[in-house]
Amino acid sequence: MLPIDAAAHSSRWRRRHPVDKAVLGLGLTALAVCLPPWPGAALVLVTAVAVLLGPAGVPARRLWRAYRVPLGFCATGALTLLVQVGGPGGFVSLAAGGPLRAGELMLRTSAASLGVLLFAFTTPLSDLLPRLVRAGVPAPVVDVALVTYRMSFLLLDSVRRVHQAQAARLGHTGRRAEWRSLAGLGATAFVRAFDRAARLQAGLAGRGYDGTLRVLVPEARVSVRFTAASCLLLAALAVLTVLLERPPL
């Protein structure tokens, strides 16, 4: 199991309905996109970090390990705004106002990423996907997503075991051995994936599969109090942004 999935299954908010957490997490993401980068996105970033480390109870080290990946993409996208191709400055030159736009993009995207991580760190996919059928998503689409989600962990475990076996047989002692082991790992994972898929299909057919996977979903109700508090927090962030952005009289 991936660390973010393990954190979601052990989260303090695991028993809350996904709608509660979607209003807060995805609401913060929407504010980060819609509000001005300063001070709107900055306020969203601080609020998301405070909620993740505080009420949600996500360990700081685990949050950083998950956050540094989207943060790297945010930084890569922001760096492209620092330069321009063509123009009077030459083929490649520094863009006018590039640092300001890069900083705004970095602030906005990093805050939006934290809002998504807030939802991901508190909501396991196994709790979310079955409920999408009630929201109008076709059942076959949800079934494929659910099976893919569960099969991915089995495939990752197989890859880990094959990699350990290759290392025990000195399969990573040199560059040539590394490439040979990598090719063998890819071939083995490909064959095992098809084998597991065939066995899964045979098992479903033997159990009278009629086109719908029936799974047990933990009972949960939408908390009016939690949702109202989340909406008040989002509204307070929007109002505070307007007040801080407005120049003093």
Residue ranges of domains in the chain:
3-123+219-245, 131-206
Residues 92, 84: Cα–Cα separation, whole Å: 6
Mean pLDDT of 29-38: 91
pTM (two decimals): 0.77
In this prediction, residue 247 carries a pLDDT of: 55
- The mean pLDDT of the chain is 84
Mean pLDDT, to the nearest integer, of 164-168?
86
d(CA 44, CA 116): 12
* Identity at 73, one-letter amino acid code: F
> For residue 83, is pLDDT > 60?
yes
| Torsion, CA 26, CA 230, CA 133, CA 196, rounded to 10 | 60
Question: Does 180 have pLDDT greater than 70?
Answer: yes
Instruction: Give SS3 for 93.
Output: strand
CA 148 to mean position of chain CA atoms: 16
